[in-house]
Chain A
């Protein structure tokens, strides 16, 4: 939609919605010229509509907001608590943060989340890798290097969020994944050949058959607009890239999408629409769901991925669970050969929580 940008006699651009205030910005999604107040209104209203149309929440539910201290989760916390108040969703909101133990990065962003707790009045729970698994990311990287570290972190974080959610006894977890993220993921799955993930990655609610369902209220919200909202509202957030993430594959897709957005802003939503419309056979083999023998977490194998990785860390076998041949020994669990060179830390049994 192109806004009519004929200036009035005074030369001032007027907001195309209220036609009263001066336009302060151009909406990245639609290129409309709009004033601040109307921008807040339309931004919040669109998210409200997404929540309603997709029935993301039910009154009385306890919702954990995955909070990293970054712009997406901060704005999510702010907007959700605002909408909860304004439209009487009747939700109990919590902030849930994961401390991976990355010095100089995570400890700074956690400070932000602690401030958010006070600013938004939402109770905060922090779960740490150290408590859950006995390892911080710093220690893991020291052991395995900068290769495959993202795998460990990703697998551990997923479980950490679920465990934290279980501790808080919440019904759902809401994450700040935005439209740009989802569009990137659709493209990545095409490039990587992952048809099974391709069929799931555009769902606004996932994991309904798992321990805790997750939802993405920002599915149709542009990253640029989230930044704009945070900027104009002067929200408190922490913006730095994780120090352990080398620029790599997702970067290709991100570059491409930035270029696309410049030519045709609606392309981001079009990619998501394509992802939703792909004709993928429902008989595509999905992994059979069971539980981990060691900790009881949801798993398609004998042991869940986190347990496999942990086993590797504790035995000084950093490659266990990485790459093609990832089988454990048939008697897997009991023998813990200590490698004298590397410091071995007994991990806590992950089965301290019932699933």
Chain B
């Protein structure tokens, strides 16, 4: 049973366990001995410190060291996970907030350095990766004045145009474009869809699923090979708790890794090791402009989790890191690594580089089936039901193929409303609901292929 004492120091007690990993900052300051150390950057010990990292008094950095520290984490994440390689075209998802501003800045700086190397190099074997920026305009889901939105978009255009050379294409896409029809039709359909979801948390989560689908669509239609999200440690810590609370413990490890390749265009999280507090500090230090689109505070479960993590963070500034580290010990899925490059056109140097750094595949190459709505891997592939419903292409059983969390908070409770709900969902989700079953079926077939005779075979 957990110890109730906050001050208990026994190593048998939970508190002690965690404290072994993260020494409290205050004790270390005493060890440093003397005020002289307090007035110098802890890293270079030359310049005056201007800001604090997550370690509080113990991590006072000068501006350069602070920035290098953060950039270093970014660079390491990118290199170690082979996130961005020369032939890639990366799409940076930009929300306007501090995390996405920093990731955009860092990606740009990396690209800029690569460009300079390329120009200086006689042997042009490794091309420079391309960068695009995508901003998703969600104004149709809440009531901002059009002026507010237009100003925001203008600011974003300015930011992106200033990040050149190399120049970057900017996509400003309204959320309703997820449906094939655009304009008023799309807006109406989106409104109907969101209204059909009665649970507040379900609504928010559905919107975020639509967001990622739209990013996939933009990337795919424009030849991008990677999507970069600015998800930071704090955001991931909140996701760990909220996924736990929603009963998504099985799929949780899929969402919090550096790389997520279950999508058509792999999604990467290079700021996974950077706390929000430090990213905020960097933005103010470096004068990085943030476009605050107050999407309104999250309500429901997500908002509650957010405040909870905030309270914990105030009590101990390294709590978010501990949460992410714990969750990082959960077993990832086989798709949590960049797919291997089989393209012969890609220089062999790149392929060797990637092979060296890509994580080894982890155990379960099981045939995962995925929830058509949130794309989370499902715990048991429901083989029996998939075989039965394989024939019925017309009406995929959405309810049966969805995860329990989506079944509860997104799908309509009343079965008679299911048909209509299905018609409102974007095509990508419907296709997944249909083919989810087929995936299992064809995998089954693969296993017995060698024993089947090609003639006299009846398609089930």
Contacts and interface: CB of A to CB of B under 8 A. Distances in A.
Interface of A: 2, 146-151, 154-155, 184-195, 197-198, 245-252, 256, 259-260, 263-264, 266-267, 269-271, 273-281, 284, 305, 321-324, 326
A187 B21 CA distance: 18
A270 B244 CA distance: 7
Secondary structure at the B interface, as helix, strand, loop or mixed, is helix
Interface of B: 1-18, 20-21, 201, 240-241, 243-250, 252-253, 300-301, 304, 308, 311-312, 315, 319, 322-323, 325-327, 329-331, 379, 404-405, 408, 413
Contacts of B379: 277
Contacts of A189: 14, 326
B5 A192 contact: no
Contacts of B11: 322-324, 326
A46 B331 CA distance: 33
8 contacts: A191-B322, A194-B14, A267-B245, A270-B405, A321-B12, A322-B11, A323-B10, A324-B20
Contacts of A266: 408
Contacts of B2: 184-185, 188, 249-250
Nearest to B251: A277
A148 B404 CA distance: 42
A64 B17 CA distance: 31
A280 B253 CA distance: 10
A152 to B, nearest CB: 9
A252 B305 CA distance: 12
A277 B247 CA distance: 9
A145 to B, nearest CB: 10
Contact of B241 (A148, A154, A190): A190
Contacts of A274: 243-250, 252
Contact of B14 (A192, A259, A269): A192
Interface pairs A-B: 3 shortest CB-CB: A274-B249, A248-B6, A270-B247
Nearest to A248: B6
Nearest to A241: B4
B9 A323 contact: yes
Nearest to B328: A195
A316 to B, nearest CB: 18
Contact of B331 (A194, A256, A276, A281): A281
Contact of B323 (A154, A191, A248, A281): A191
Contacts of B405: 270
B415 to A, nearest CB: 14
Contact of B3 (A151, A186, A264, A284): A151
A294 to B, nearest CB: 17
B90 to A, nearest CB: 29
